[in-house]
Amino acid sequence: MTVLLLAAGDHFVLNHLLVDAVHAELPDGIDIRQLTLPWPVEPFGPVGEVDEASGSEDDLIEALHGVQICVTQMAPLTRRVLHAAHDLKLVCVTRGGPVNVNIEAATERKIAVCSAPGRNAAATAEHTVAMILAVIRRIASTHMDLTGGLWRGDYYRYDSVGPELSGSILGLVGFGAVGSRVAQLLRGFGARILVHDPYVNQQQLGDVAELTTLEDLLSRSNIVSLHARVTPQTTRMIGAVQLALMPPGSVIVNCARGALLDYDAVCDALDSRHLFGAAFDVFPQEPIPAGSRLLTTHNIVMTPHLAGASKHTAANAARIAAGEVGRYLRGEPLCFCVNPEALD
């Protein structure tokens, strides 16, 4: 029997990437229907009860008619959509967390949901290092000065220059797929790496990094970079008390999740010159609202939540999802299923 699959791509994880990856995994016995979602031409947002979704429930319900497998990054797989998709058995979301899927409703309907962890780990790690370099070498601010006709030679003053990576102590809060890659990249610059992560031990770190407490990491690190997942324990884990532990003239970087950090406390630490600089790809509210202190506080480098944006990320996402489709149809165990009880 031929299986019908819906490739609900967008303008980042393109449909042809999904289609090519599925056909490479399964050359025969599968038909593919396509739906193109508007993200990122149009911002994602909440749809029904799910978050970070793109497109409409009605369009998705129509596209899922007769479909057994859906591969998507942003489609709004709400309870309403899932209960209307009578033939659907597998959803593969090409992102690390399937927040656009109502997992409870999928499990009730015996629909397995898979994700694509690590798809953007290399891109995010590279972006993190780029952000560190941009803030300690004032690349963004001096570029803007030059385009405005201002030559800032005064930045050569000793009290205005930042540290080098070589010889610096870098503290990584979290040592998962991204944090571990950041460590490897920074080691190439000659930096010493400290790690705080309750889920790893020193044996796992080997000679790459030294495992320590959060307080010790903060008090010893010239640069601190956040790579933890958001949980009740990690939400706003870095605030005024923790920032005060950091050495004067240090730097904090967040390319993970905005909820990890108290941004007002960072602005206070920058205004008092306790911190030298900061770099952020993620924020407590996105887009950044007008009037935010982040837009006026000195020596902050910011990018609009695109650390994971690379051509390799899009291709990796399609490949990981296609692998799950192949395993499902061959009756093999799924690697990244978030609700295995749906398979019982």
Enumerate residues 6+ apart whose C-beta is below 8 A from 157: none
User: Is residue 180 exposed (0-12), middle (13-18) or buried (19+ Cβ within 10 Å)?
Assistant: buried
How many CB atoms neighbour CB 247 within 10 A? 14
b/e per residue 88-119 (b: at least 16 CB within 10 A): bbbbbbbbbebbbbbbebbbebebbbbbbbbb
How far apart, in whole angstroms, are the C-alpha atoms of residue 23 and residue 271? 55
Pairing mode of beta strands 169-173, 223-226:
parallel
- What does the alpha-carbon distance between residue 310 and residue 126 come to, in Å, rounded to a whole number? 10
Kindly list the catalytic residues.
Answer: 257, 286, 305
Q: Residue 110: phi, psi to the nearest 5?
A: 60, 40
CB 57 within 8 A of CB 77: no
**String of DSSP letters for 144-190:** HHHHTT---GGGGSGGG----STT-EEEEE--SHHHHHHHHHHHTTT
Q: What distance in Å separates the CA atoms of residue 83 and residue 114, rounded to the nearest whole number?
A: 18
User: Is residue 120 a contact partner of residue 313, using CB atoms and an 8 Å limit?
Assistant: yes
CA angle, residues 164, 166, 167, in degrees to nearest 5: 100
